[in-house]
Structure 1
Amino acid sequence: MIDERLRGPYYRATLSEIRADVEARGPVAVAEDALTAINRINPELNAFVYVDPDDVRAQARALAEIDAADRGPLHGVPVAIKDLIDVAGYPITLGSKVYAERVAEQDAEGVRRLRAAGAIIVGITLTHEFAFGPTGDVSAYGAAHNPHDLTRMTGGSSGGSGAAVGAGLVPLALGTDTGGSIRIPAALCGAVGFKGAHGAVPTAGVFDLAPSMDHLGPIALDVEIARLGFEVLSGATVTPQTTFVARRQDISQVPYVDPRVAALVIDAAASLGASTGDDPVGLGDWARMRADAATVMTREAFVVHQDILDVHREDYQREVWERIDGGREIDEATFAAARAAGDELRSELQRRLGDDDVLVSPTVGITAPPIGERETVVEGASGATRAIVTNLTTRWNLLGFPAISVPCGDIDGLPVGLQLVAKPGSESALFAAAAAWEARRTR
């Protein structure tokens, strides 16, 4: 439960309530409420790194002049944008001193589509530097703070977007996801985070981390808003569907899963119809797949950054440049073998999974660690925090499968996320399962 002083105007709001409010009071009043809440709450959350109140008000006034028949599906809805995604005229610094003076020349394609749908861009949210970190506490702007406990991580790299939505400052925010960077902050901050199949949402105007694994997608208050955000971003319609087949994912090889988290997810899977007596779906050698994903991500990140890093190393956060520089030692044969292993498992799972199959697992095996923690203890065993929080998410970026994280209760007041995964083309089943779980959880 979030302390009342940290709750924004959209805390636990529904899409119908948000639309009714815009209809009743108009975009100008709605935008003003969002600005007031950001001004009041953001000093504690550090979710937003840039807000231009004059521009926000100008957007709202322009939307107020649009005839009802011409309004888009996000008319008057405040939306936040991760500091990796270009917004024309805004400083988009990628969370780094390297680009401290950078101003975007034009909107990213995803931002353009949000504007066309009627969204109000209310500000830029904190990213882990260059989106290369799952903790959300390493950037030129410091750490984002989890609204459920200000001493805890938001997760990353889309930590500011996760915190902004989790606190209800906005109902929808954009994030990117290369190894879990939408789903992890959504899970740790109590929001919904969705990444579609690789390539489903255009990434033009988004700074690359690892292009073959990069995804753009929404972090939202609930499943309905996440679905709408995805439809706007992708230009596709998710066909309404109520049928799905929930199947437990075998996570027996995955270390550092808190038994309390596992218990919540097993109960959720059973609620969705996955029998605890059935054999869970095995996904091959977990350790090898994790290593392959790390190989691809690190090598591609090094290729993106090599020229910049060689000149501006001193302006990078040390933790980030050390990770990127690790790609220097990965040769082409090792990289190709890792890509091939991912291709092989992708093909295998596409054959094994039915069109309505939805795999169920935790999103993150633990709740939010303290800000700055780099070694986390789970059941007496210590491991690297960065690895622990990405243990269950990264493979789906290597494979390019759509995945969603939805809230699944809490442990000691800190949210737990339920991850649902389907094969590409089965987004309707995925959203059906997510909506079904959300309805059961909130009853």
Structure 2
Amino acid sequence: MNTQISEIYSLRSALDNGSVTAKELSETAIRRATAADDTFITIAQDTSRAEASDRRIQAREIRSPLEGIPIAVKDVINTADLKTTMGSNVFADYQPTQNATLVQQLDDAGANIIGKTNTQEFSYGIRGDSGAFGVVTNPYDPTRIAGGSSSGSAAAVARDIVPLAVGTDTAGSIRVPAALCGVVGFKPTFQLLDTTGIFPLAPSFDTVGFLASTVQDIAVAMATLLREKNMSEALSAPNLRYAVLEDNLIYGGPGLKDPHALEVVNSLCASRVSHPVGSGTDFNFMELYNVVRAREAFLIHEPYVTQMPEKYQPDILMRVKAGETISETQVAEAQDQIAKAALVYEQAFANTDILLSSTVPIEAPLLHEKASSAEALMSQCVIWNLLGWPAMTIPYWISDSPLPRSLQIIGKPGQDAKVIAAGTHLEDLLNTGVQGRGITSTPRSKTPIA
């Protein structure tokens, strides 16, 4: 049984019993967002949608568990009533005429978008420290990065501005900032959620997902979008077969070495797995990703870098232009290798439901530590974008460090519910979630109104 307190369900209860209104929740979130000046690019000022939620709640016409809940959306996702800048001067004043499909689904469900979160320019980077609207700092240590590219979405949840935020993940861009900011991040199966109306980085890998305080909050969001009436069966999925994934199978990182996490993981896997994971493969996933991503990103950005290169951040412009040298033959060869890898991994883990690994092999780097940290941050995540498998990161804390630690939970394509079920179980075992998080940079209150 999951003992973590779902922030969405807590707010849902307060809304339904009349102890707080959707308008009050939105006003509080807007006030907190305004105070966190690095986290948001655009903040809503109109509370009419929240007021409409209040009328529906009073009339008992609640459309979903998200009715009246304030949420935030990464600023590469189109919103018809808020600017969508892509974190870039190229689109600094861009106002979409219609919502992205996912935004419309959330709007139809009654969620209230209170702002657009800061992002690495065009989602092009894992550190989250290069964009036209400033750098999102780590909520636990402002001298460190928050991770990217969904940095603002992770910080918005970590700073208790919203209980749920939307992000995108092409090579770890939900999971890495979630891990560094101490929140839950979920990348669903590739193409499970519609990305129409979201500015692409590399369409072969781009995935939209969520960041939240608890796994149950992720479950609420996914169930709402997928129109699943009840997630209780998925969340209590029994007899999942777990395996610890040796990190050298992915990239050769230092691995999951925290004693507390290892104790939990090893005890769980000992009771679920009859044989260990096998040895490594010949696939260089980082290289395969770099080839496809570089070429696809260049083709998307070619008109803009030709017409207005001066509006790009210098490092992003350099990355975009690098893709011009990648040939279609190289891309085809890389895609062929990725397809072969998918078959190898499907066969290798045919008798396993859930794989466990570290999410990031290093602590949140200091803002000035740029050398080699980007590749290290992606090293445990990028493979699951290439293969299209669902993956979640959950946080936990140890007594001798103020920075969060994280565990990555990986499932088979289409088995997102099993990943969520495993997440709820491990969240309890690691004693993570909203309890015990001591962010000092922003006052934290778990009451609906601060």
State the secondary structure of the residue aligned to 2:396.
strand
CA offset digits 1:216-243 (Å, max 9, x no partner): 0000111011122123334457552233
Aligned match of 1:329:
325
Aligned match of 2:13:
20
Tell whether 2:375 aligns with 1:387: yes
Q: C-alpha displacement at 1:70, in angstroms? A: 3.5
Tell whether 2:304 aligns with 1:308: yes
- Which residue of the other structure, out of 355, 361, 365, is the alignment partner of 1:365? 361
Alpha carbons of 1:233 and 1:296: their partners in 2 closer, same or farther (altered >3 Å)?
Answer: farther
Aligned match of 1:436:
425
CA offset digits 1:32-76 (Å, max 9, x no partner): 221222233x03xx11111122x2x11111111112244312011
Moved more, 116-125 or 274-283: 274-283
Alpha carbons of 1:173 and 1:323: their partners in 2 closer, same or farther (altered >3 Å)?
Answer: same
- TM-score by structure 2 length? 0.88
Q: C-alpha displacement at 1:416, in angstroms? A: 1.4
The separation in 1 between residues aligned to 2:240 and 2:323, in whole angstroms, is: 40
Amino acid at match of 1:49: I
Aligned match of 1:29:
24
The separation in 2 between residues aligned to 1:350 and 1:370, in whole angstroms, is: 37
The separation in 2 between residues aligned to 1:98 and 1:339, in whole angstroms, is: 30
Q: C-alpha displacement at 1:325, in angstroms? A: 1.5
The separation in 2 between residues aligned to 1:416 and 1:280, in whole angstroms, is: 23
| Alpha carbons 1:265, 1:361 under 8 Å: kept | no
State the secondary structure of the residue aligned to 1:140.
coil
Correspondence 1:85-234 to 2 at 5 A: 85-234=77-226
| Alpha carbons 2:184, 2:393 under 8 Å: kept | yes
Alpha carbons of 1:12 and 1:128: their partners in 2 closer, same or farther (altered >3 Å)?
Answer: farther
State the secondary structure of the residue aligned to 2:392.
strand
The separation in 2 between residues aligned to 1:265 and 1:138, in whole angstroms, is: 32
Q: C-alpha displacement at 1:256, in angstroms? A: 7.5
Tell whether 2:50 aligns with 1:60: yes
- Which residue of the other structure, out of 250, 271, 277, is the alignment partner of 1:280? 277
| Alpha carbons 1:364, 1:392 under 8 Å: kept | yes
Amino acid at match of 1:165: V
State the secondary structure of the residue aligned to 2:243.
strand
Aligned match of 2:295:
299
CA offset digits 1:197-256 (Å, max 9, x no partner): 111000011001100100000001110111221233344575522331110112136668
The separation in 2 between residues aligned to 1:356 and 1:105, in whole angstroms, is: 45
What runs of 5+ residues in structure 1 fail to find an aligned partner? Answer: 1-10, 376-383
Moved more, 423-432 or 258-267: 258-267
- Aligned-pair identity in percent equals 32
State the secondary structure of the residue aligned to 1:395.
helix
The separation in 2 between residues aligned to 1:255 and 1:356, in whole angstroms, is: 20
The separation in 2 between residues aligned to 1:362 and 1:391, in whole angstroms, is: 10
The separation in 2 between residues aligned to 1:396 and 1:119, in whole angstroms, is: 29
State the secondary structure of the residue aligned to 2:21.
helix
The separation in 2 between residues aligned to 1:65 and 1:134, in whole angstroms, is: 41
What runs of 5+ residues in structure 2 fail to find an aligned partner? Answer: 433-450
Tell whether 2:247 aligns with 1:243: no
The separation in 2 between residues aligned to 1:261 and 1:247, in whole angstroms, is: 15
The separation in 2 between residues aligned to 1:161 and 1:47, in whole angstroms, is: 8
Number of equivalenced pairs: 419
| Alpha carbons 1:31, 1:60 under 8 Å: kept | yes
Aligned match of 1:4:
none
Q: C-alpha displacement at 1:15, in angstroms? A: 3.1
Amino acid at match of 1:437: L
State the secondary structure of the residue aligned to 2:308.
helix
| Alpha carbons 1:243, 1:429 under 8 Å: kept | no
State the secondary structure of the residue aligned to 2:141.
coil
The separation in 2 between residues aligned to 1:73 and 1:356, in whole angstroms, is: 32
The separation in 2 between residues aligned to 1:356 and 1:130, in whole angstroms, is: 36
Amino acid at match of 1:291: E
The separation in 2 between residues aligned to 1:29 and 1:281, in whole angstroms, is: 53
| Alpha carbons 2:8, 2:69 under 8 Å: kept | no
Amino acid at match of 1:180: G
Alpha carbons of 1:333 and 1:268: their partners in 2 closer, same or farther (altered >3 Å)?
Answer: farther
The separation in 1 between residues aligned to 2:397 and 2:268, in whole angstroms, is: 15
State the secondary structure of the residue aligned to 1:92.
coil
| Alpha carbons 2:70, 2:163 under 8 Å: kept | yes
State the secondary structure of the residue aligned to 1:273.
helix
Q: C-alpha displacement at 1:348, in angstroms? A: 2.3
The separation in 2 between residues aligned to 1:226 and 1:391, in whole angstroms, is: 24
| Alpha carbons 2:298, 2:321 under 8 Å: kept | yes
| Alpha carbons 2:396, 2:404 under 8 Å: kept | yes
Amino acid at match of 1:181: S
Tell whether 2:342 aligns with 1:346: yes
Moved more, 355-364 or 84-93: 355-364
Q: C-alpha displacement at 1:340, in angstroms? A: 0.8
Alpha carbons of 1:232 and 1:175: their partners in 2 closer, same or farther (altered >3 Å)?
Answer: same
CA offset digits 1:61-100 (Å, max 9, x no partner): 1111112244312011110000100111311110001111
